Chain A
Amino acid sequence: MFPDKTVAAGLADAAHLAEVQGRSLWKDARIRFFRNKAAVISFVVLMFIVAFCIFGQLFAQYDIETPDFTLSGPNAYLGVPSIATGHYFGTDDLGRDLFARTVQGTRISLLVGVVGALVAVVVGTLYGAVSGYFGGRIDGFMMRTVDILMSVPYMFVLILMLVIFGRSILLLFIGIGLISWLDMSRIARGQTLTIKNKEFVEAAVAIGVRPMRIVLRHIVPNLLGIVVVYSTLLIPGMIITESFISFLGLGVQDPNASLGSLIAKGASQMQYGVLWQLLFPLFFFIITLFAFFFVGDGLRDALDPKDR
């Protein structure tokens, strides 16, 4: 899943190629990305999901927490999805509108993914770049620290944190952010090791630019391509982690919902013949993950010309 030296070599090749053909690396990548049908379709699907999160609430006839008492009674007959009642996705076991809850659940799941990826990009990239650039003892110490943190069973520690500091969305964001940067720092370090021997870094050293400034101005911008690709591939992992914890009931708390908690709710109700409560959140969960995986794969192929 994660790149190594071959990707770096690939990127270097691409840069070289671009010189010969007079096309920039990014233009080349864009052309290659749009040739990949699965990736383009997934990208469109992803845009639809984002639009669904942002504007879905406008179409909802109900809010996320008010039970619809006109439908109270046997949920399986009255709470069915229908246009007429305004409950497009039906209602949940308490008579709350599932459409509004799915919109909100998808929004929270996406948000968790994006926040986790953002932390990974900022912290992981800087950490990896510093570690790789300075090398030697500093590198050894920083990377051993990452090794130790990686061998901790983070899901258990995250749950331990949620129990101790109380269950809240904010803490979930922090906890997921705390673990997301580990992989990224390794990727960034590997890239930095190849970049730091390039001429332009040598030139910067020669004219006396201070080390931290070299990292920020010369190393990090050159890492961005690979970092963007892998953060796209990290997002589904974050979404799964969040949904996992919410499925256990330890993450997002009622009346708020995330896709994980909606799936858990639907799964606990399915023996009553109210399958839509499971299927709608499940559908959004699956297409969101699929879309991210294919877009990430497409981006990776586009930026890594080795596979052509």
Chain B
Amino acid sequence: MYSYILRRLMVAIPTILVLIVLSFMLMFAAPGGPFNAERPLPPDVMANIQARYGLDQPYWKQMVDYTWKVVTQFDFGPSFKYRDRTVNDIIAQGFPVTITYGAWAFVVAVTLGLTLGVIAAIRQNTWIDYLAVGVAIGAQVLPGFVLAPILVLVFTYWLDLLPGGGWNGGAWQNVIMPVIALSTGYLASIARIMRSSMLEVMNSGFIRTARAKGLPMHRIIWRHALKPALLPVLSYLGPAFVGMITGSVVIDVYFSTGGIGQFFVNSAFHRDYSVIMGITILVGVLTILFNLVVDLLYAWIDPKIRY
């Protein structure tokens, strides 16, 4: 097990380095520097600015410096647009917001998705099964950016129940619509995966044995069926996590919640490279770490996998 963890880390670390170097190279391939304005700056002013941001150094040195600072100090450097703020300040401001509704969305998607999937599998071909399948199909064509306007239309303009945007310090009225918009698609996918894997498990030999010896239904489900049926869902959690982080961009932009997605898109419009790179790298590292955790959990739960 420890050698497996070590081996996975050996893959994860180069991946993170590749990501950092790749985004740095992309930035340098950009035509024009970050300070090229419509009206060119006086040469000595330009030289001063370049020196301030370290842009007068040779490329390879900038890259090594940047990578070194990111890896050792988690320092993504200064923002190119907001003169008085560093990328770390911006992340520190936006990240708690993203994590708050992201974590809620994740919890909602997993708990409701699993519950719906299990019930649909046990009560196969009843109305609740059809409901689960219907929701799963419907949610495929309603990604967050489609669901969000529909929610606002219904709950803000027609029913006048919830505020159409803003964060307001994380009040529940402001959190509820982002969470629904972000979680629905993943809730449906988890329910679908759980339903089919549960059906498969319920038809297998050891469940028949458990029923034959007269165990009550709830005990069969809790003690025997649930654990093996969870495995496919577990391997879906990695992609789901990535999807939620990506989806949070739309949530931030549409609901003006002020998470990192909003800063990301604003920076994209203002060509604030250091902020875009910082957020891309942060998300990449989170993704890689999360996938690592999921893989380890998988190895831990599934007795057939021994490394």
Contact = CB atoms under 8 A, between A and B. Distances in A.
Task: Check if A and B associate.
Answer: yes
A170 to B, nearest CB: 15
A144 B268 CA distance: 30
B38 to A, nearest CB: 16
B28 to A, nearest CB: 9
B47 interface: no
A264 B246 CA distance: 17
Nearest to A268: B149
A163 B145 CA distance: 21
A270 interface: yes
A11 interface: no
A278 interface: yes
Contacts of A162: 268
B19 interface: yes
A160 B152 CA distance: 29
Nearest to A147: B11
Contact of B253 (A152, A248, A290): A248
Interface centre among A144, A148, A162, A250 (most CB of B within 10 A): A148
Contacts of B31: 165
A278 B18 contact: no
A152 B19 contact: yes
Interface in A231-280: 236, 240, 243-244, 247-250, 260, 263-264, 266-267, 270-271, 275, 278
Contacts of A289: 140-141
Contacts of B22: 152, 157
A240 B243 CA distance: 12
A160 B280 CA distance: 8
A260 B27 CA distance: 27
Contact of A151 (B15, B149, B245): B15
A40 interface: no
B268 A148 contact: no
B277 A160 contact: yes
Q: Give the secondary structure class of A's interface.
A: helix
A147 to B, nearest CB: 8
A208 interface: no
A23 B276 CA distance: 57
B270 to A, nearest CB: 9
Interface size class of A (residues with CB under 8 A): 35 or more
Contacts of B149: 263, 266-267, 270, 278
Interface in A77-131: none
A152 B265 CA distance: 18
A153 interface: yes
Interface stretch (B121-129, B216-224, B283-291): B283-291
B284 A156 contact: yes
Contact of B268 (A163, A286, A290): A163
B29 interface: yes
Contacts of A203: none
Interface in B174-226: none
A152 B18 CA distance: 9
Contact of A160 (B23, B141, B148, B287): B23
A151 B288 contact: yes
Q: Give the secondary structure class of B's interface.
A: helix
A285 interface: yes
B284 A152 contact: yes
A248 B30 contact: no
B46 interface: no
B265 A270 contact: no
Interface in A206-251: 236, 240, 243-244, 247-250
A17 B250 CA distance: 49
A274 to B, nearest CB: 12
A159 interface: yes
Contacts of A161: 26
B104 to A, nearest CB: 21
B166 interface: no
B280 A248 contact: no
B81 interface: no
B146 A164 contact: no
Interface string A133-151: 0000000000010011001
B143 interface: yes
A151 B148 CA distance: 27
A153 B141 contact: no
Contacts of A275: 153
Contacts of A244: 143, 145, 246, 250
Nearest to B254: A267
A38 to B, nearest CB: 10
11 contacts: A155-B249, A160-B26, A163-B271, A243-B143, A244-B145, A248-B249, A250-B265, A267-B152, A270-B149, A270-B157, A278-B149
Given A155-B246, A263-B145, A278-B153, 16 more contacts: A153-B280, A153-B284, A153-B287, A155-B249, A156-B276, A156-B284, A236-B140, A243-B145, A244-B246, A247-B250, A248-B249, A248-B265, A275-B153, A286-B141, A289-B141, A293-B137
